Amino acid sequence: MELFVATNNEHKLLELAPALRGQLLRTPAEAGIKGFEVLEDGATFLENALKKALALHRLIGRPSLADDSGLAVDALGGAPGVMSARYGSPDGGVTKLDAATRNRTLLAEMETQERRSCAFVCCLALVLAEDRFFVVQETCPGELLRAPQGSGGFGYDPIVWLPALGKTVAELSVDEKNLVSHRGRACARMAALIADLEVLP
C-alpha cells in the first residue's frame, strides 16, 4: 500500500520504513504539500496522531499515516508525554531544545527520585477515509538512568535502560530496536492490520 506519512521528521521515516516492509512510504512533499505542519495540541498521543493523519488525508485524499510518540515517566505523572519533543523549552514549546539538553533537563528533574520506571509510547493512526481509520498504540517499558549511555538512536534513547536486554535503547541494533521499541511494536501491529485490509474485497 502507498502510504503518505504525516511528518517532516526523517528519524521517524527511517524507523518506520524497515518496520513497515512492503509498504511504500511517501512524504507530504511527494504529494505536493510543502512545509506540512499540524499543531499538536492534543492531550494524548492518540489525539495528536489522528489529528495529523486526518489533516494530511484531507489535503491529498490518499491513505495517510501519522505517528505520535514520546516518553512517559511514572514519577512525573506521565510527563514529558505529548510534550516530549518540546520538553524543557523556556517558551512553552515554541523553541525546541536539542535532545541532549532535554535529556539533561529531565535527569535533573528526576535527580532525587528513586522511582525510575518509564515507558516509550507510540500511537500510529492510519486514515483511509474521513470516517474510516485505524489506530494502534504500543509501549516499550524501561527505567530512567542517571546519565546517558550509548551513541545510537535519538531523543531520549540514551537515558532509557531496558532491564530485560541489559542495554539502553541507544545501544540497540536497528533490528533489535524494531523488535522491542514502542514504534517497532506499533508498526508490527499496523503491518498486520494493513495485510488484512489488503485481502478484503
What number of other Cβ atoms are within 10 A of residue 53's Cβ?
Answer: 29
User: Which residues are catalytic, by number?
Assistant: 68
Three cell numbers at 131?
A: 470516517
Burial class (CB within 10 angstroms; exposed 0-12, middle 13-18, buried 19+) of 166: exposed
Tell me the residue type at 15: E
Query: Which of these, 8, 73, 23, lies nearest to 187 by C-alpha position?
Result: 23
Do residues 135 and 123 lie in contact, with contact meaning Cβ atoms separated by under 8 Å? Answer: yes
SS3 70: strand
196 — phi, psi (to 5°)?
A: -70, -40
